Structure 1
Amino acid sequence: MRWQESDDYAAIPMRAVGPVKINGTEVNAQLPLPMATYETPLWHSTHRGALACNKAGGINAVVMDDRMTRSVLFEADNIVTAQRFVQALPGYRQQLEEEVGKTSRFARLLDFHTQVVGTLVYLRFEFQTGDASGHNMATLAAEGLMKWLLERHSDLGYVTISGNFCTDKKNSAVNGILGRGKYVVADVLLPRSTVRRVLKAEPEKIVQLSIKKNLIGSIISGGVRTANAHFANMLLGYYLATGQDAANIVEGSQGMVHTEMRGDDLYFSVTLPNLVVGSVGNGKGLDFVQRNLEALGCTDRDATPGSNARRLAVGAAACVLCGELSLLAAQSVPGELMQSHVSLERSAVNKSAHNSKDNEQ
């Protein structure tokens, strides 16, 4: 098959669940949670989580940090040259900040880190990128910095603009430690009565399941900075509905669930340190994406640069919390998970077949 330009689109069913009440500095409102997915039970499960959170007064959510990264790679002629270069970098800070400013009015250098392996020098830049997710902005800025540094260090050679120390769309520890994208924490305190009435579960069983499944299960499986049941499910649905680069759910789903009993109440939190999302850029011009971004309140042209994207990230974290809470509740009750999947998916299949028959008639 020959490659050619195409205006075709892959059709993925999409719904908005919720809305869910969110409390915080970035968002203090009821937000719908748009999700595009083939896994139809995911809408119902996430909506159930949203209902429980609303009855508990809503989800609290904050953005702890916000930065996009790109790691360049140089090769020195010997290890002494590599050491000399690394030692010189802090003295270039002001010049490097000025060079970044030349590449974009929104880009700003926040920090940089180095790792040396033999004569290879990995240099990881961290940037502020406004309302864009920042992939291209960070790469353009890093390219300018790389050129500037090579002009002053002729004993260094270019290897690549991206040396995997970023780290983009791959499992890693560095992103959780140093940060990449939006670092968002969301939590909720659920009364026992709400857990029982809406989630049909007991708070203590959810806490124990989170420890035994998410924490210990992830440890014995070799999970990298992750302790959750299915963050990727909600993130993929939310990313597709809001025009994000879906492959970024790889690092985005590296997050933690923390639960505990607080008196008679269930404390439930999700921590997502690597949410790569943006409210402008590629994919945002599609009509359905614009409608979803508007519904989320992420298209305010007069907002402070970066605040639309942070609002979008808070919505993502709320979506993850609702879906994670509902699934853990279901899995703490024998038979409920499979029963709900069979029931919901079978009715979806029957509805599809009925619609097809009507169309034929």
Structure 2
Amino acid sequence: MTAPEELAERVRDGDLRIHELEDHADHDTAAEARRLFVERETGTDLEAIGDYAFPAERADPNIENMIGAAQVPMGVVGPVTVSGGAADGDHYLPLATTEGALLASVNRGLGVIRDAGGADARVTKNGMTRAPVFRVAGVAEAAETVEWVENNVEALRTAAESTTSHGELLDVEPYVVGDSVFLRFAYDTKDAMGMNMATIATGEACDLVEAETPASLVALSGNLCSDKKPAAINAVEGRGRSVTADVLLPGELVEDRLHTTADAIAEANTRKNLIGSAKAGSLGFNAHAANVVGAAFLATGQDEAQVVEAANTITTMDARERDDGTTDLYASVSLASLEVGTVGGGTKLPTQAEALDVLGLRGGGDPPGSNADALAEIIAVGALAGELSLLGALSSRHLASAHEDLGR
């Protein structure tokens, strides 16, 4: 076996390119050789980066030019008490983050939710999208293409589903802009997040569109999908899983645990999350939902770049007066585009797989799709807890002191 030092020298001499090392050694040796090369080129010490706890070969589907692993601190919050369409009972939610006080805040919100009997959560819509863009000569050919698509959805479904044993084509929505035709394909990808599945299936369907219409494919992704970018279409139509969680908190519980009132939290939400976000032109109307989603994504092996779409969340807080004059707090979060899976991608990595084991959601569910639905519901309740805790801290003017007390 070639030694790492020799491989590093061959890269430095130009005899090998940095991405060719796995052709000459096992994955761990290749990673070590790459580290040595980078250390010598940059004058750095990569001891911590090279101290990873899984075979490098396990990461081969997930990364190129591996030198080690980025270790993000992981904690756990909970139990998350949820009554959902797929999730039920108490679950511990692993979160990975470098932001101090985040888990403490989420845990505080979860404690209040538990004392209120738990939260309800439901996945209200499911569809991973891919939207290719086609070129046509003009509006007449655009109309001809759209008419063919609308009359031949079954043929497109047959073509798309021929590439996968799991995915199902749900819908194809056409959009016309001058001589461009966009077709937004939506799929049920079961327990996979499904971006690759949707891309491959859509490619097969595009061949049929080109064969049967005047349209010529320009790009398999035309950004109307829309993946990893703030987009109103995802905030309105959804992408991945659209999920909502809510809870009704007794007024005395709000006062005892959050040290404020239902009216104060509702006002803070209206003025901050609704009016403030509207004035800013935000697509999301929430306090920090992406904080919880991002930490859950890192812990459970989701595509971290899709956190941007979690920022579409709308948080509502409503003070509800009871017959006895007591005011309770109704709280909800609605995440329009939460893209999660429990199979494929980063969920196969050892650390992330263990985190899914903590949730009891590793791998495919029975029925298919139920594990990913459950994960979405649990994350939504975690996000709800984070919203409650932060809005409670803001309305009680305890935010700064809480960070000071925790030394963050």
TM-score by length of 1: 0.92
Q: Deviations over 1:22-47 (max 9, x none)?
A: 01221111011211011120010000
- Pairs within 5 Å for 1:169-248: 169-224=228-283, 226-248=284-306
* Shift in Å, 1:176: 2.5
The residue number in structure 2 matching 1:117 is: 177
Structure 1: distance between partners of 2:120 and 2:381: 9
The residue number in structure 2 matching 1:340 is: 402
RMSD after superposition: 1.5
Q: Are the counterparts in 1 of residues 241 and 376 from structure 2 also a CA contact under 8 Å?
A: yes
The residue type paired with residue 294 of structure 2 is L
Structure 2: distance between partners of 1:36 and 1:200: 28
Q: Secondary structure at the match of 1:258?
A: strand
* Shift in Å, 1:7: 4.5
Q: Secondary structure at the match of 1:103?
A: coil
Q: Deviations over 1:277-318 (max 9, x none)?
A: 000111112222112111212126561111111011111101
The residue number in structure 1 matching 2:155 is: 95
The residue number in structure 1 matching 2:51 is: none
* Shift in Å, 1:216: 0.2
2:392 paired with 1:329: yes
Q: Deviations over 1:214-243 (max 9, x none)?
A: 00000100112x210111111110110010
User: Of the candidates 242, 248, 252, which is equivalent to residue 310 of structure 2?
Assistant: 252
Q: Between 279-288 and 297-306, report the one with greater CA deviation.
A: 297-306
Question: Which consecutive residues of structure 1, in runs of 5 or more, have no partner in the other structure?
Answer: 347-361
Structure 2: distance between partners of 1:135 and 1:345: 40
Structure 2: distance between partners of 1:222 and 1:261: 26
2:96 paired with 1:12: no
Task: Using CA pairs under 8 Å that are at least 6 residues apart, name the structure with larger relative contact order, 1 or 2.
Answer: 1
Q: Between 231-240 and 85-94, report the one with greater CA deviation.
A: 85-94
The residue type paired with residue 193 of structure 1 is E
Q: Secondary structure at the match of 1:254?
A: coil
- Pairs within 5 Å for 1:121-160: 121-153=181-213, 155-160=214-219
Q: Secondary structure at the match of 1:319?
A: helix
Structure 1: distance between partners of 2:239 and 2:85: 21
CA 1:18/1:227 → structure 2, altered by over 3 Å: closer, same or farther? Answer: same
The residue number in structure 2 matching 1:84 is: 144
Q: How many residues align?
A: 343
* Shift in Å, 1:100: 1.7
TM-score by length of 2: 0.82
Structure 2: distance between partners of 1:215 and 1:115: 30
The residue type paired with residue 400 of structure 2 is M
The residue number in structure 2 matching 1:290 is: 353
The residue type paired with residue 58 of structure 1 is G
The residue number in structure 1 matching 2:54 is: none
Q: Between 256-265 and 129-138, report the one with greater CA deviation.
A: 256-265
Structure 2: distance between partners of 1:318 and 1:273: 14
User: Of the candidates 335, 341, 362, which is equivalent to residue 299 of structure 1?
Assistant: 362
Structure 2: distance between partners of 1:274 and 1:88: 29
* Shift in Å, 1:276: 0.3
Q: Once the two structures are aligned, what percentage of the paired residues are identical?
A: 38
Structure 2: distance between partners of 1:176 and 1:301: 27
The residue number in structure 2 matching 1:168 is: 227
Structure 1: distance between partners of 2:129 and 2:188: 9
* Shift in Å, 1:141: 0.7
Structure 2: distance between partners of 1:273 and 1:3: 41
* Shift in Å, 1:178: 2.0
* Shift in Å, 1:328: 0.4
Structure 2: distance between partners of 1:167 and 1:89: 20
Structure 2: distance between partners of 1:213 and 1:323: 15
Structure 2: distance between partners of 1:270 and 1:156: 41
CA 1:301/1:234 → structure 2, altered by over 3 Å: closer, same or farther? Answer: closer
The residue type paired with residue 122 of structure 1 is F
Structure 2: distance between partners of 1:19 and 1:265: 23
Q: Secondary structure at the match of 1:283?
A: helix
Structure 2: distance between partners of 1:194 and 1:62: 24
The residue type paired with residue 153 of structure 2 is R
